[in-house]
Amino acid sequence: MACLNPSQLQKFQENGFLVLEGFVSAEECMAMQQRISEIVAEMDVPPHCRTEFSTQEEEQLRAQGSTDYFLSSGDKIRFFFEKGVFDKKGNFVVPPEKAVNKIGHALHAHDPVFRSVTHSPKVQALARSLGLQMPVVVQSMYIFKQPHFGGEGELGAGLEPPGKVDATFLYTEPLGRVLGMWIAVEDATLTNGCLWFIPGSHTKGVSRRMIRAPAGSAPGTRFLGSEPARDDSLFVPTPVQRGALVLIHGEVVHKSEQNLSACSRQAYTFHLMEAAGTVWSPENWLQPTADLAFPPLYT
């Protein structure tokens, strides 16, 4: 089982992140990649990507369509694309499998392969060894990090300055109740966009939050507060091999750079919240729905 030993636990508490190499087998990584290939082959491209827009009013409608598609994706499997992959008529200018930035945000709930990875005995044992009593799964994403233009950042595509904390997007009271589990489905290297962390930055709190704007308003979300200026030299790169799991404290500052290599850097990531004694902010973009309450991790 994948329980943390005392020195690993201490390292996580001190740094706000922890690498567990070899957490997932090569076979499990292959199963995830195979399933994602099938999902992409069958995907419905959302209409706001497919429509040709010429007037300003139509452009506003597209922006609203994009906003609604994102804001209602918490309980669905939806597709988010790299910039510049559609022509003016909404046709792909690159192969579809090279066009997807990420798939979110409920693979863990609706797909059997990703459900089994998320709720695996290994993950449950890891959560128990971290002392989580009532963890629930709040979201999941498959991130492609496409070669040559896989964008920076890991959560709200294109929304964040260099370095972010997950609690900006997934805010709780009290803080310290959100945990990211990031699984390298492919090797993550210095050239293809591995994660970087500022060790110990998880003790500084949250200075910026993304909240839902009033219904019907574009762009649908807005930020409160701002990120402090950060010394770029404080970031430490964390290259990992395929099958590694990176534990990410909800308030540790992290980033990933653009993928400048010829290889993708695929990852499956999901976030847990300790539900015992925790209030999930009603202002978060992501909300549980009638179709999908946040499912308990422990089965």
Whole-number CA gyration radius for the chain? 18
Over the stretch 142-198, which tens digit does the pLDDT of each residue have?
A: 999 999 765 555 544 344 457 999 999 999 999 999 999 999 999 999 999 999 999
Q: Quick one: 271 exposed, middle or buried, by C-beta within 10 A (0-12, 13-18, 19+)?
A: buried
What is the reported pLDDT for 83? 84
Return the closest-CA partner of residue 178 out of 209, 157, 215.
209
Question: What is the average pLDDT score of the chain?
Answer: 91
Structure tokens belonging to residue 217? 């308003």
| Span of 11-15, 52-56, 156-160, 234-238 with lowest mean pLDDT | 156-160
What is the reported pLDDT for 217? 72
Q: Are 102 and 40 in contact (CB under 8 A)?
A: no
Total Cβ atoms within 10 A of residue 87: 10
DSSP track, 112-135:
HHHHHHHT-HHHHHHHHHTT-SSE
What is the reported pLDDT for 233? 95
What dihedral do alpha carbons 33, 39, 41, 46 form, nearest 10°?
A: -130
Return the closest-CA partner of residue 30 out of 183, 192, 148, 240.
183
What is the reported pLDDT for 116? 98
Q: Quick one: 153 exposed, middle or buried, by C-beta within 10 A (0-12, 13-18, 19+)?
A: buried
What is the reported pLDDT for 150? 55
Total Cβ atoms within 10 A of residue 69: 18
Q: Are 141 and 102 in contact (CB under 8 A)?
A: yes
What domains lie within the chain, and their CATH numbers? 6-280 (2.60.120.620)
Largest CA distance in the chain: 61
Over the stretch 221-266, which tens digit does the pLDDT of each residue have?
A: 999 999 888 999 999 999 999 999 999 999 999 999 989 999 999 9
* pLDDT at residue 57 tops 90: no
Return the closest-CA partner of residue 222 out of 234, 230, 214.
214
How far, in Å, CA of 225 to CA of 246, rounded? Answer: 28
> What residue type is assigned to position 116 of the chain?
S
Confidence band, pLDDT 50/70/90 cuts, at residue 19: very high
Kindly state the average pLDDT of the residues 76-90: 89
